[in-house]
């Protein structure tokens, strides 16, 4: 039935099938080893890994997931992952998962979760949906991590920023960062308020100079160029500005210092600008009061030192050597005025023998 040629072809086919079978077995063994290695990797990764069905039923968790929630694989497998999430967050989580599509199968979101001790922790999860040929989700693969410390740091930073803003309001002080190379600056909300500008204002050096009062503009521009940019000295100057919104004249005190790169080249100027209008007005009022007091003191005449007076007639000798009666001398050397009367002793001496004079007791 088979001649020699056909038998030879059949033999070769059998040999080829054996080789193919051997290759398939080898490939299967390699795939099994790869799956085992991949499983080991998943189990030892420090991130939380789980797989679950569209119903939320968990079908796989790694060791890190079990250790974190202090549960065994058997306890977690078959349970709903939503049981580990506060009820207030469940709707948001399911809404994010349900939004995954074949065109957009991956999404990262944050939510809270229960720790084994009952405390609330913050998690970040990246979910990937797997779909069948009809585009229906059949499984979800998720990796997560505890981000509680980061969230606490963010909350502390927001609290600190809020306190800084309140402190700047109380001190009427705003801060800025000037990019030396770009010639542009960023400012805090309080500094925007001081300048009377908004976020749409073009914040470059020229626009800042234009905010300076015209009478102070050249002085401030020269100071910034010579002291700061040329000699890299600290910027420390009081000057006037004109509020861009109200046109009000204000006094400010600007301070700024440079930061440098590894080549000791200045890259930024960090500083503050304080509204000192009230302080300057108080200083002006104080200076005016001091001047008024000095002017008043200069008009006051004071008698002092040794005054030569005659022991008999009681006249006083002036600086030119003339003898003056006491009234004339005092009036010429002070602001005192005299009104004349007579004492009882003198009245007795002058009029005591007169009939009309009645001597009082």
CA-to-CA separations, 356 to 139, 186, 353, 359, 360, in angstroms, rounded? 136, 98, 9, 10, 13
Span 10-26, pLDDT tens digits = 667 767 776 776 766 66
What's the pTM value of the predicted model, to 2 decimals?
A: 0.52
pLDDT band (50, 70, 90) for residue 346? confident
| Average pLDDT of the chain to the nearest whole number | 85
Span 33-74, pLDDT tens digits = 555 554 555 566 568 999 999 999 999 999 999 999 999 999
SS3 label, residue 126: strand
Q: How far apart are CA 21 and CA 16, in angstroms?
A: 9
Span 65-82, pLDDT tens digits = 999 999 999 999 999 999
- Indicate if the alpha-carbon torsion angle 17, 22, 27, 32 is positive or negative: positive
What is the maximum span of the chain, computed from C-alpha positions, in angstroms? 194
Considering the domain 159-281 in this protein, what is its CATH number? 3.30.450.20
Q: How far apart are CA 268 and CA 260, in angstroms?
A: 7
If one compares 95 and 299, the residue with the highest pLDDT of the two is: 95
Which residues share a beta bridge with 129? 140
pLDDT band (50, 70, 90) for residue 300? low
In this prediction, residue 6 carries a pLDDT of 65
SS3 label, residue 96: helix
Span 186-242, pLDDT tens digits = 999 999 999 999 989 999 999 999 999 999 999 999 999 999 989 999 999 999 999
CA-to-CA separations, 148 to 91, 126, 157, in angstroms, rounded? 21, 16, 14
Residue 344 has pLDDT above 70, yes or no: yes
Span 237-269, pLDDT tens digits = 999 999 999 999 999 999 999 999 988 899 999
Domain 45-146: CATH class, spelled out: alpha beta
In this prediction, residue 317 carries a pLDDT of 82
CA-to-CA separations, 223 to 29, 140, 236, 293, 314, in angstroms, rounded? 79, 64, 9, 36, 69
233 CB neighbour count, 10 Å cutoff: 13
Angle at CA of residue 190, ends 207 and 208, nearest 5°: 10
In this prediction, residue 249 carries a pLDDT of 95
CA-to-CA separations, 243 to 78, 188, 199, in angstroms, rounded? 67, 16, 15
SS3 label, residue 284: helix
């Amino acid at each position: 039935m088979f001649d020699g040629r056909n038998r030879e072809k059949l033999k070769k086919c059998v040999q080829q099938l054996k080789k193919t079978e051997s290759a398939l077995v080898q490939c299967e063994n390699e795939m099994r080893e790869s799956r085992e290695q991949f499983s080991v990797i998943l189990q030892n990764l420090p991130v939380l890994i789980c797989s679950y069905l569209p119903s939320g039923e968990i079908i796989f968790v790694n060791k890190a997931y079990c250790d974190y929630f202090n549960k065994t694989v058997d306890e977690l497998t078959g349970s709903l992952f939503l049981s580990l999430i506060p009820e207030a967050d469940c709707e948001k989580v399911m809404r994010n998962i349900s939004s995954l599509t074949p065109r957009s199968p991956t999404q990262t979101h944050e939510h809270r979760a229960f720790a084994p001790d009952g405390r609330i922790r913050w998690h970040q999860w990246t979910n990937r949906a797997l779909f069948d040929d009809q585009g229906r989700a059949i499984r979800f693969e998720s990796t997560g991590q505890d981000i509680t410390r980061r969230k606490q740091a963010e909350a502390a930073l927001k609290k600190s920023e809020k306190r800084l803003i309140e402190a700047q309001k109380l001190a009427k002080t705003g801060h800025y960062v000037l990019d030396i190379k770009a010639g542009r600056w960023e400012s805090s909300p309080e500094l925007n308020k001081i300048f009377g500008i908004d976020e749409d204002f073009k914040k470059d050096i020229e626009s800042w100079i234009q905010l300076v009062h015209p009478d102070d503009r050249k002085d401030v521009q020269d100071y910034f160029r010579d002291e700061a940019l040329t000699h890299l000295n600290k910027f420390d100057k009081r000057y006037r500005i004109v509020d861009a919104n109200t046109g009000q004249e204000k006094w400010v005190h600007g301070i700024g210092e440079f930061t440098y790169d590894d080549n000791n080249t200045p890259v930024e100027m960090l500083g503050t600008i304080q509204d000192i209008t009230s302080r300057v007005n108080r200083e002006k009022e104080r200076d005016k009061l001091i001047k008024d007091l000095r002017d008043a003191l200069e008009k006051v005449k004071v008698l002092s030192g040794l005054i030569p007076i005659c022991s008999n007639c009681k006249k006083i000798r002036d600086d030119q050597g003339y003898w003056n009666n006491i009234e004339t001398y005092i009036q010429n050397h002070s602001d005192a005025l005299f009104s004349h009367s007579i004492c009882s002793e003198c009245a007795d001496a002058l009029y005591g023998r007169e009939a009309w004079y009645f001597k009082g007791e």
